[in-house]
Chain A
Amino acid sequence: MADDKPLFVEAASVLHYRYAAGEHGTRFLQALAGRKILGSRCAACGWTLVPPRVACAGCFRRMTEIVEVPPTGTLVAYTQVTFPFIDPFTGETRPIPYCYGMVRFDGTHNTFQYFLEEKDVGKLRPGLRVEAVFREAREGAIRDIVHFRTC
């Protein structure tokens, strides 16, 4: 190495994964195909959480009751992503810009992080009323929800 220029070795890892949605998650995703939003309700503290899970975020007891919640809610926080990066789902650059936010479904005690229809971030604010918009062709997947639109 006459010029002492540092050398590099190139490598690319392509790894495929299959994540189990789990008992509650499977019911949640299947219900999306029927335009329904499911949450889990805690018998101990009364909290309802979306998506449903086995341990309550409020009191950490086991949650067994699944309830339907309305597709409407309130925007709690948000951002508009404007910088490019590789999406670990696809290995491709995620399309930008896009707005997403934390939506608190009516009657629930946590928020759900998802895409927003609004393209102008200046029109977003906490407290905005929003509703889930479902795709016409649904498959029991998170993408059955297109986004949340202002209502």
Chain B
Amino acid sequence: MGKRVAVVGTGQTHHRSKRPDVSIPELVREAVDRALENAHADLGAVDAIVIGNMEHFEGIHLSDLWPAEEAGLWGKPGFKVATGGTTGSSLAIAAYYTVASGLYDRVLAVGWEKLSESAGETTTGIVTAFDPIYERPTLAGAVSGLAVMATAYQYRHSIPPGQAALATVYARANAMRNPHAHLRKPVTVEDVLASPMLSTPIRLLDMCPTSDGACAVLFASEEAVGRFPGPPAWISGVHSCHNHTYLGDLCGDTPVFLDTLTTAAKEAYRQAGIADPRNQIDVVEIYGPCSWACLEWAESLGFCGLGEGGKFFASGAPAFEGDIPWSPSGGVISTNPIGATGLIRVAEAAIQVRGEGGDRQVPGVRTALATGFGGSYWSEVMILAREK
């Protein structure tokens, strides 16, 4: 696995639908300042930086150049990571690789997105991620892509929509505990089922919002961890898994949809010595972009059996007080600055392990799991633990 690596500092903005008061570099600086403050360090304590967003949304390229000074990249080694929805988790993994390799001891990962600046056309940007000849004519971005997956899942396992709605209900209840969350308003199952249909069976309240926000996470090697006073969150398992290019290949003879999460989780569990994920993991921060995906992915992660995602959510197990609290931050259904979203999952998992969660702290967390989702159904998994 290379050198052992820990998260020693996290910072994020107060995510909102619009941040008209700041430019992109200013937004990035807020998160960087907060991460350094949390780590009790300054930019002098950072050896290298990885930074990224999903560039189409703001229509700017060289997203490493724009906020170079605000992110602390000036005069330092660094590179841009842009893998679509997984950008944030890829940033965490890239920073982890850079430290684990022994090349640098202290690497800052910075993810950001200012979706309000694309005049609300997030879907247009996402459509351009897919094949221009065969799949763009029909695709309506992440919403319809996830909807196709949801209809297949719903039909295969006869899932009542009210069970999927619970994923939103729990997420929004958790967001009330998190001052950084974007949508801080509780909703009921009835509210979700009465909200406008976007793409069958996904309704407005089933789906994540578009947010403005940034996140920064500082990773340190085992030799450097002692320089930072806070408790380290040790990375014990990491895996990134890609899928087919064509959406049409994802539901043919190739395994259905998000088998990448099953694969990534299995490998990360192996690294972390996790044989029974439901009992050995204390809290999860899942890149669940819509309620339906949360149900199916609970199965992929091994928290329940195949086809039991609906029952899993109905059982209350993923609620804040349940046995495996699901995104106590409010998750992606409450907050979604896309290029930062995956990094926020890692930051929130680290916050839980370090006991810094405040009102959203789950008691006694020793092991936390963070995931990333994006591209053509790619998955990334990172496991963080209190013990080295």
* Cβ–Cβ contact B133 & A83, under 8 A: no
Question: Which of A41-89 touch B at CB < 8 Å?
Answer: 47, 49-51, 53, 57-58, 76-83, 85-89
* Cβ–Cβ contact B200 & A82, under 8 A: yes
* Cβ–Cβ contact A113 & B140, under 8 A: no
Is B158 in contact with chain A by the CB < 8 A criterion?
A: no
Residues of A within 8 A of B254 (CB): 57-58, 109-110
- Per a CB cutoff under 8 Å, which of A53, A98, A111, A115 touches B251? A111
Is B197 in contact with chain A by the CB < 8 A criterion?
A: yes
Q: List 14 A-B contacts (CB under 8 A).
A: A6-B21, A21-B133, A47-B253, A51-B133, A51-B134, A76-B252, A79-B147, A79-B148, A82-B199, A83-B140, A98-B138, A102-B148, A114-B138, A126-B151
Give B337 Cβ to nearest chain A Cβ, in Å.
Answer: 18
- By beta carbon, the residue of chain A nearest B122 is A85
* Cβ–Cβ contact A77 & B253, under 8 A: no
- By beta carbon, the residue of chain A nearest B123 is A85
Given A11-B59, A21-B133, are A110 and B20 neighbors across the interface (CB < 8 Å)? no
Residues of B within 8 A of A98 (CB): 138
Beyond A79-B200, A82-B200, 8 additional pairs, beta carbon < 8 A: A11-B59, A51-B134, A77-B251, A87-B127, A110-B249, A111-B252, A112-B134, A126-B151
Given A11-B59, A58-B253, are A19 and B133 neighbors across the interface (CB < 8 Å)? yes
Q: Contact flags (1/0) for A95-108 with B, using CB distance below 8 Å? A: 00010111010001
Residues of B within 8 A of A19 (CB): 132-133
Is B387 in contact with chain A by the CB < 8 A criterion?
A: no
Size of the B side of the interface (Cβ < 8 Å), in residues, is: 44
Give B363 Cβ to nearest chain A Cβ, in Å.
Answer: 40
Residues of B within 8 A of A121 (CB): 200
Is B224 in contact with chain A by the CB < 8 A criterion?
A: no
* Cβ–Cβ contact B252 & A108, under 8 A: yes
User: What residues make up the interface of B, taking CB atoms closer than 8 Å to A?
Assistant: 20-21, 59, 121, 123-124, 127-128, 132-141, 143-144, 147-152, 155-156, 196-202, 244, 246-249, 251-254
Residues of A within 8 A of B200 (CB): 78-80, 82, 121
Please, how many angstroms separate the alpha-carbon atoms of A23 and B337 in the complex?
39
User: What residues make up the interface of A, taking CB atoms closer than 8 Å to B?
Assistant: 6, 8, 11, 13, 17, 19, 21, 25, 29, 47, 49-51, 53, 57-58, 76-83, 85-89, 94, 98, 100-102, 104, 108-115, 121, 124-126, 142-143
Please, how many angstroms separate the alpha-carbon atoms of A59 and B31 in the complex?
44
Give A87 Cβ to nearest chain B Cβ, in Å.
Answer: 7
Give B216 Cβ to nearest chain A Cβ, in Å.
Answer: 23
Please, how many angstroms separate the alpha-carbon atoms of A145 and B202 in the complex?
27
* Cβ–Cβ contact B249 & A142, under 8 A: no
Give B208 Cβ to nearest chain A Cβ, in Å.
Answer: 14
Closest A-B pairs by Cβ, 9 of them:
A110-B252, A79-B147, A77-B152, A85-B123, A100-B138, A6-B20, A109-B253, A83-B198, A81-B140
Residues of B within 8 A of A125 (CB): 155
* Cβ–Cβ contact B248 & A102, under 8 A: yes
Residues of B within 8 A of A115 (CB): 137-138
- Per a CB cutoff under 8 Å, which of A11, A79, A87, A113 touches B248? A113
* Cβ–Cβ contact A57 & B246, under 8 A: yes
Residues of A within 8 A of B21 (CB): 6
Given A113-B135, A113-B139, A121-B200, are A126 and B152 neighbors across the interface (CB < 8 Å)? yes
- Per a CB cutoff under 8 Å, which of B59, B124, B136, B149 touches A85? B124
* Cβ–Cβ contact A82 & B197, under 8 A: yes
* Cβ–Cβ contact B247 & A79, under 8 A: no
Residues of A within 8 A of B198 (CB): 81-83
- By beta carbon, the residue of chain A nearest B141 is A85
Give B199 Cβ to nearest chain A Cβ, in Å.
Answer: 5
Residues of A within 8 A of B197 (CB): 80, 82
- By beta carbon, the residue of chain B nearest A98 is B138
Given A8-B20, A87-B124, are A142 and B134 neighbors across the interface (CB < 8 Å)? yes
Given A17-B132, A57-B244, A142-B133, are A80 and B199 neighbors across the interface (CB < 8 Å)? yes
Please, how many angstroms separate the alpha-carbon atoms of A128 and B202 in the complex?
21
Residues of A within 8 A of B248 (CB): 50, 102, 110-113
- By beta carbon, the residue of chain A nearest B125 is A88
Please, how many angstroms separate the alpha-carbon atoms of A49 and B250 in the complex?
12
Give A86 Cβ to nearest chain B Cβ, in Å.
Answer: 5
Please, how many angstroms separate the alpha-carbon atoms of A80 and B144 in the complex?
8
* Cβ–Cβ contact A142 & B137, under 8 A: yes
Residue among B59, B144, B196 facing the most chain A CB atoms (10 A cut-off): B144
